[in-house]
Amino acid sequence: MRNVPDVAKTAAAWSADPDGALEPLFGELQFGVTHSPSGSFLYHDVKSSTRSWIDEHDWTAPTESLEMNYSEWRRSNEPARAARYYGMATVPNTYSPDAGGRFRFGFLAGALPSMTKDGAPPLLAPAPNKLSWHGLDCRLGHPGIVSEAHYDFKRNFVAVLAGEKRYLLLPPTQCAELSLLPYGHPSARHSKILLAHAAADDAGNASTTGSPHDAPPTAADVERFLAAAALDVHLRPGDVLHLPAYWFHAVVSLTRTVQCNSFVGPPSTTAAQDFVEDCMMRISGELPTQAACDAGAE
């Protein structure tokens, strides 16, 4: 989507001089920064349901969480540290424009009212109710940062406000082609085929090195991954992408970028959810694979 008025206005202001626009707004406010030694970013969740996997596989987190202010994050792109620090400032779903001043990053929601639950006109409609809005997440990325292929549980609206990003989008039907990590793994719902090397030359060459604590994908796994049906979307300042729930996506920051996104859910139908959950149960060994079912029918 293009020509969303508040997104277009904010993108025009921020993309011309991101530091000049954003550094005064952020000031000394600290926001979350994820550090990845490789520039490859996989979400992970350490909780009771993943504890056994962590203990059995001697797993360690692929990234670490830090806090920085805007000036510190900007300087983190020194050549020896480039593409390793991914910032995120969040406006919670309790935000309201009448009380924006009491929210640490309320100025972000104030610049993008159409991406909040009180937006007029509401970009996020149709949503079942205002409680289905999960807040506003604004990400600050250096060139070369890669968010590895994964799916999310909610509908997502993504607005690029500075810089350029590449989104590789795959429908739920491609689940079995992506070498996903199983339920119980701290990075479940992510592919173990990493795209970090592809970001450097944009050649689409997937790394054959998986997580250091998991069996790496085979050459056949990589071949299936690269052959999966995908949409290649190039987003520029002012562009808004609607990403349906349970669609797989990998994201590359082609330049230094500012992106804000809003999750809205649950999805209006459960078809995609049912398909992916069935696929994940087969990957996790909780249901027989299709190959096993076919063999049993012979």
CATH (domain of 244): 2.60.120.10
Query: What is the C-alpha separation between 112 and 209, in angstroms, rounded?
Result: 39
pLDDT of residue 55: 81
Instruction: Name the domain count of the chain.
Output: 1
DSSP 218: P
53 in Cβ contact with 184 (< 8 Å)? yes
Taking the model in full, what pTM does it have? 0.88
In a domain, 294, yes or no: no
Structural domain contains residue 110:
yes
pLDDT for the residue numbered 12? 97
How much is the pLDDT for 265? 78
Continuous H helices in the chain: 5-16, 18-26, 51-57, 70-75, 106-111, 196-201, 219-227, 271-283, 290-297
Is 19 part of any domain? yes
For the packed helices 5-16 and 18-26, what is the interaxial angle rounded to 10 degrees? 100
**Residue 212: its pLDDT value, please?**
55
Q: What is the pLDDT of residue 239?
A: 98
Segments forming the whole domain that contains residue 59: 5-267
- Whether 221 is covered by a domain: the verdict is yes
Report how far residue 74's alpha carbon sits from residue 76's, in angstroms, rounded to the nearest whole number.
Answer: 5
In a domain, 292, yes or no: no
Kindly give, in sequence order, each residue whose CB lies less than 8 Å from that of residue 292, ignoring residues fewer than 6 positions away.
Answer: none
Q: Give domain status of residue 283, yes or no.
A: no
Dihedral of the alpha carbons of 160, 161, 166, 168, in degrees to the nearest 10: -10
Whether 277 is covered by a domain: the verdict is no
Query: In the chain, which residues have pLDDT < 50?
Result: 197-210, 290-298
